[in-house]
Amino acid sequence: MNQHVAIDIPKLKARYREERDKRLRTDGNNQYIRIEGHLSHYLEDPYTPVTPRDPKTDHVTFTFIGGGFAGLVTGARLKEQGISDVRIVEKGGDFGGTWYWNRYPGAQCDTASFVYMPLLEETGHMPTEKYAHAPEIRAHCSNIGRQFGLYENALFHTQVSKLSWLEGSGCWQIETQQGDCFTSQFIGMGTGPLHVPKLPGIPGIESFKGHSFHTSRWDYGYTGGSPEGAPMTQLSDKRVGIIGTGATSVQCVPHLARAAKQLFVFQRTPSSVDVRDNAPTDPQWFETIATPGWQQRWLENFTENQAGGTAKEDLVQDGWTDLSRRIRARIAALPAGERTPQAMWSAWEDADFEKMEEIRQRAEEIVEDKATAENLKAWYRQLCKRPCFHDEYLQAFNQPSTRLVDTDGKGVEKIVEDGVVVNGEHFPLDCLIYASGFEVGTPHTERTGFDLEGVGGVRLSEHWKDGMRTLHGTHVHGFPNAFIVQPTQGANLISNVPHNLTESGRTIAMVVKHALDHGHQTVGVSQEAEQAWIDLLLTGPGRMIGSQECTPGYYNNEGQEPGPAARFSVGYPQGASAYFKYLKDWRESGEFEGLKFD
Ligand code: NDP
């Protein structure tokens, strides 16, 4: 579906504004309920029983907080550099991070496996599908853990409560809610942006007497079935409701639609749902691509295509690169003298309008009931919210069991003992599933449960009170021997977060190796180097997506003015590809400019 569609742009823009305005609210992030106290059962781990163990009081060389992709890739690279004494501390019962928790039916990666799954070449794993399903990704995480010996020293079901720099000893002290108190020369943190589930602040939410759970703690004991795809037979006589229609809901609704006696999908804002086009991997084809260095080539090619680069070919060829291809084609069509920032912005917007129009047409073509199809159309630019791709989601609304309950941007009105009320209509339910997402934009100390206490007892939250300050998004002045693994103030590549993480992991391992080889106890960034990095970042174009013109969501702080600190939530001015090249040169020079080793 790539035919040209005639678009009345002023009319479309007016519709986008109208739909956004309908959803703007004054409480922003505060509309959500934090899961704690009497709600904390929603956080319990349904997958792995907690095994009692003795508290740790020893010393290790490197401790990494978080056992998701960030911890695994950093741990693996440290091991490759010969640093054997690595401990990963993880609140879940195994490695995987988001893939440990998210086992809802249909969970799969949204970015092609070949670039999304880290360390494929190192582990020799061939993803079985273009978009691998969650059990395969979780197994891959375990394989990485086993292959690189990361299980030996790992602490699972363990939450850090305090991290403090021990001035005299030149190392960190780590305390946990499980009673551990040990020291570590270096620490890393990969606590991820989307790991604390949240509930919608709907009146009466506590009164529901049926069964309920959050999608990141799927209760297969209740639904039947399994993450591997066994049908949820225990839902065959159940009326099921699901609140939320983001990326998670899009993936699990088709499975619920097949299993439940009745399914009600409560929608506040529709997702844009484009073609998925998943396919099993042909091993013969994979052999042809899997030559030495293949994954790095694919990663770089995807980033070049996706993040505004000038790649000559598109290896991944999917919905993510499609929009970029369209934008590039429009820009290339501009006469050389007319490539002004304004003209380039218009090219970007026009490509997006066209793409979204096709996605809306797709809903119309697939969904049989005209009113339902109309309500499933997304009226915003594609990157205003997380783009979704699925070949069974829209189709699910053609099943007699399934009803879309659109709330016209208002959300569910109230929850009562036996169901949900929308626009005055009562929907009796046996089971209510919250696909209501994860905390974003709340203070990081609240999300992680700890603050870093650096040199002189200065807390990270204090150092960052006017906004994040780092070198490369990794090193923070006053917090020696500490490394943060995340995309901001680096590549800022949101379409393939693992690429950011693998490059950080590689860099950190080289810095640590350098420190150890040269007998340095500490390494840290100078104030000047941190400031120079921030100054450089602020010369860039700033935040493109997450714009306040967008419909509210976690990409744009729920539509609220983000506050002055947000101006630091930017990436390298020349873009992701240029950043990765810069970082490679920086680490391979062996100079580690801006860092001070003592
Ligand atoms: P989201 O935050 O994207 O979605 C939450 C949903 O809950 C939204 O549809 C929101 O509506 C809705 N909602 C909130 N309050 C109410 C209310 N009162 N009444 C009705 N609806 C309400 O969470 P997800 O878990 O879907 O996704 C989070 C992120 O996790 C994704 O954006 C993505 O980054 C990641 N993810 C990645 C996947 C992958 O890579 N395979 C798969 C799934 C998730 P509204 O839009 O109006 O706010």
Residue 471, ligand 1, Cβ within 6 A: no
**For residue 371, with 0-12 CB atoms within 10 Å meaning exposed, 13-18 middle and 19 or more buried, which class applies?**
exposed
Which of ligand 1's atoms lies nearest the C-alpha of 108?
41
Ligand 1, atom 48, lies closest to the CA of: 553
For 110, residues 6+ apart whose C-beta sits below 8 A from its C-beta are 116, 131, 247, 388, 389
Q: Which of 119, 490, 491, 568 is nearest to 306 (CA)?
A: 491
Residue 427, ligand 1, Cβ within 6 A: no
pLDDT in tens, the chain (598 residues): 445 568 899 999 999 999 999 999 888 888 888 888 888 899 999 999 999 999 999 999 999 999 999 999 999 999 999 999 999 999 999 999 999 999 999 999 999 999 999 999 999 999 999 999 999 999 999 999 999 999 999 999 999 999 999 999 999 999 999 999 999 999 999 998 778 899 999 999 999 999 999 999 999 999 999 999 999 999 999 999 999 999 999 999 999 999 999 999 999 999 999 999 999 999 999 999 999 999 999 999 999 998 766 788 999 998 888 878 888 888 888 888 888 888 888 888 898 999 999 999 999 999 999 999 999 999 999 889 999 999 999 999 999 999 999 999 999 999 999 999 999 999 999 999 999 999 877 777 777 888 999 999 999 999 999 999 999 999 999 999 999 999 999 999 988 999 999 999 999 999 999 999 999 999 999 999 999 999 999 998 766 544 668 888 888 888 887 777 778 889 999 999 999 999 999 999 999 999 999 9
Q: At what angle do helices 294-306 and 497-517 cross, to 10 degrees?
A: 130
Which of ligand 1's atoms lies nearest the C-alpha of 116?
40
In CATH terms, are 9-34+198-276+348-434 and 59-196+442-597 the same topology?
yes
Token pair, residue 44, equals: 């319990």
What amino acid is encoded at 356 in this protein? M
E-only strand ranges, 6-148: 32-34, 59-65, 86-89
Residue 311, ligand 1, Cβ within 6 A: no
Ligand 1, atom 41, lies closest to the CA of: 109
Token pair, residue 327, equals: 């934008």
Rounded distance from Cα 246 to ligand 1 centre (Å): 4
CB 427 within 8 A of CB 420: yes
* Run of H or E including 25: none
Rounded distance from Cα 227 to ligand 1 centre (Å): 20
Residue 247, ligand 1, Cβ within 6 A: yes
DSSP structure string for 122-177? HHT---SBSS-BHHHHHHHHHHHHHHTT-STT-B-S--EEEEEEETTTTEEEEEET
* Run of H or E including 427: strand 425-428
For 230, residues 6+ apart whose C-beta sits below 8 A from its C-beta are 224
CB 564 within 8 A of CB 395: no
Rounded distance from Cα 553 to ligand 1 centre (Å): 8
Residue 245, ligand 1, Cβ within 6 A: yes
The CATH homologous superfamily of the domain defined by 59-196+442-597: FAD/NAD(P)-binding domain (3.50.50.60)
Residue 96, ligand 1, Cβ within 6 A: no
Rounded distance from Cα 266 to ligand 1 centre (Å): 12
Ligand 1, atom 8, lies closest to the CA of: 244
Considering only the C-alpha atoms of the chain, give the largest distance between any 2 of them, rounded to a whole number of Å.
Answer: 70
**Any idea where the domains of the chain sit in the sequence?**
9-34+198-276+348-434, 59-196+442-597
Q: Which of 115, 121, 126, 489 is nearest to 305 (CA)?
A: 115
Residue 192, ligand 1, Cβ within 6 A: no
Q: Which of 445, 437, 586, 563 is nearest to 503 (CA)?
A: 586
Residue 378, ligand 1, Cβ within 6 A: no
Residue 106, ligand 1, Cβ within 6 A: no
For residue 524, report the phi and psi dihedrals to the nearest 5 degrees: -155, 165
Ligand 1, atom 36, lies closest to the CA of: 247
Rounded Cα gap, residues 476 and 246, in angstroms: 34
* Run of H or E including 184: strand 181-189
* Domain 9-34+198-276+348-434 annotated CATH 3.50.50.60: yes
Ligand 1, atom 18, lies closest to the CA of: 411
Q: What is the pLDDT of residue 481?
A: 98
Ligand 1, atom 31, lies closest to the CA of: 247
DSSP strand pairing (388-389 vs 181-189) = unpaired
Which of ligand 1's atoms lies nearest the C-alpha of 385?
32
Q: Which of 290, 271, 258, 320 is nearest to 110 (CA)?
A: 320
